[in-house]
Amino acid sequence: MSEHVLNDGAVEDAALRRKPVSEAGVPTVTVLDYGSGNVRSAVRALERAGAHVILSSKPEDVLNADGLVVPGVGAFETVMKELNAVDAVRMIGRRVAGGRAVLAICVGLQVLFEAGVEHGVASTGMGEWPGTVELLPAPVVPHMGWNTVDVPEGSVLFNGVESERFYFVHSYGVQKWDFDVVQPLMAPPLVTWSEHGARFIAAVENGPLCATQFHPEKSGDAGARLLKNWVDSLRKVA
């Protein structure tokens, strides 16, 4: 019988604490498999960026990989329900609290905020950051195609691609950043912006938690460089 330990108030198999196996020096990245559309392009892009990639929702893979990628396609409320169905919200929170890297993409970024409003219906998000996801006030939505981004100084994700274009597919976004939490041992979040009808958040870098509104896996060479920057950052802490 496996040894059990008490962790966050739950009895857990000790095997869940074991890191997924990869070649020496190769970061392990789990792409969260919770039913969010086609994630194969993200898996392939991360493999090309130098990671050993696992497509899984198993707790041992989600919690213990060097990096976790949370894709998101579809409606805010639906994605939250799907994440909760595989206990991903709790596991993402545990990773962030433990300083373990997470990269969220598209609606994956949106659900990290407090709330989303779609078709007049408000849904609760994870609340990692304050803010509400709302319809972009643009003549044409969705915002689909290539767009520039306004990158803050010191960005790790965008190192070398600060002036490049990235591929967006979305109708909703966070149009206001109001994060006043000061943590003496952690640098303040870096927020990257883009514009479609109004300025909206295109990416956030907040310690172990990073997110992009655009799809790096569909953004050509610029997206490939961004993913490599993220994977390389895992090597420093792996």
Indicate if 210 belongs to the active site: no
Write down the catalytic residue from 60, 164, 205, 217. 217
Catalytic residue among 52, 170, 196, 215: 215
The catalytic residue among 60, 106, 170, 196 is 106
Is 215 one of the annotated active-site residues of the chain? yes
Rounded-to-10 torsion of CA 166, 172, 178, 179: -70
Catalytic residues: 106, 215, 217
